[in-house]
Amino acid sequence: MRTALPHLPFIRPLPLRIAAAVLILGAALTGAALLHYHVFVDHVRQDGQPDPTLFLGNIPVHPWWVDPATLAICVLGVTAFVGLLFASRPDTLE
C-alpha cells in the first residue's frame, strides 16, 4: 500500500529516482567524453588534409583545461547519481 506524503512533494518513488539518476550519470559521462575528444582547432593544410600536428595518434590534442574539466564533470555526475539514488526520506531518519 502506498502512503501519500502531501507534506513532502519533493520525494519521488524509487523507480523514478533510479531513472533520473541513470539519465544524469549518462548525460554527465557523455558530456565529458564529447568535451575530451572535441577538436578545438580545425587546421587544414593547403592540400585539404588535416594538420598532423593536432593529433597524437588518434587522440586530438586539446587545451590544458580540458582534462580537469572532464574530471570535474564526471565527479559531479557521479555525485548527483549517488545523491539521487540513495536519497533517504526525512521521515525515516527519526
Domain ranges for the chain, please list them: 14-41+49-87
DSSP 6-52: TT-TT---HHHHHHHHHHHHHHHHHHHHHHHT--S---B-TTSPBPG
pLDDT of residue 80: 93
Identity of the residue numbered 4: A
Convert the pLDDT of each residue in 28-57 to its tens digit: 999 999 988 876 666 666 676 766 666 666
pTM as predicted: 0.65
C-alpha torsion sign, points 33, 34, 40, 42 = positive
